[in-house]
Amino acid sequence: MAEKNESAEAPVKAPKAAPKKTAKAPAAAAAASAETTTVGSTETVKREQVLKVHHLRPAAGAKKARQRVGRGEGSKGKTAGRGTKGTKARYTVRVGFEGGQMPLHMRTPKLRGFKNPFRVEYQVVNLEKLAALYPDGGDVTTSDLVAKGAVRKNEKVKVLGTATSRLS
């Protein structure tokens, strides 16, 4: 029979040196840590621990429990901090209640009419002013009126009034 040659065996892997530990955040450390398991005597398999949503918890002291009132005769029990008797002990007062006085929303008059949001504002120019600006007559344009300082630019103009002298 043939004998086994010792040099033909597979070489045994030496275990790797453990990495240096550094200070990390708890969540980062949990996500980055790896679990090493030994299978047989020669192979090592690494499984990373994955950070999962159902493992998350709020930080200590981040959540404060709501104080339950009126549950037994301990702190905030029995009358639950409302005192004894009276309207405020039995139920809440409605919003706007002024103790029987006529409330503000009933004292003020009703809104009459409305304000048109699409109202167009015009700059008024009287015919007498036009007669003074154009003594010789001619065509009147808004750009001329702006140049002469009679109206502001980028606004609509309306001509009103009567003139004693004849305009041409």
pLDDT digits (tens, 9 = 90+) for 41-79: 666 777 788 899 999 999 999 999 999 999 998 888 899
| Burial class of residue 145 in the structure, from the number of CB atoms within 10 Å of its CB (0-12 exposed, 13-18 middle, 19+ buried) | buried
| Burial class of residue 131 in the structure, from the number of CB atoms within 10 Å of its CB (0-12 exposed, 13-18 middle, 19+ buried) | middle
Residue 26 confidence (pLDDT): 54
22, pLDDT greater than 80: no
Q: In whole angstroms, give the CA distance from residue 36 to residue 73.
A: 56
Neighbours of 77 (CB within 10 A): 13
Asked if residue 147 belongs to a domain, the reply is: yes
- When comparing pLDDT for 35 and 158, which is higher? 158
The model carries a pTM of 0.33
Domain containing residue 152: 122-160
- When comparing pLDDT for 120 and 22, which is higher? 120
Asked if residue 146 belongs to a domain, the reply is: yes
Q: Which of 82, 83, 165 is nearest to 126 (CA)?
A: 165
Asked if residue 102 belongs to a domain, the reply is: no
Asked if residue 18 belongs to a domain, the reply is: no
Asked if residue 137 belongs to a domain, the reply is: yes
Q: In whole angstroms, give the CA distance from residue 125 to residue 150.
A: 8
Q: What CATH number did the domain enclosing 136 receive? A: 3.100.10.10
Q: In whole angstroms, give the CA distance from residue 48 to residue 30.
A: 9
152, pLDDT greater than 60: yes
When pLDDT is cut at 50, 70 and 90, the band that residue 138 belongs to is: confident
Q: Can you tell me the mean pLDDT for 136-161? A: 91
The structure tokens listed for 83 are 């005192």
Cross-strand pairs, 37: 45
Residue 3 confidence (pLDDT): 55
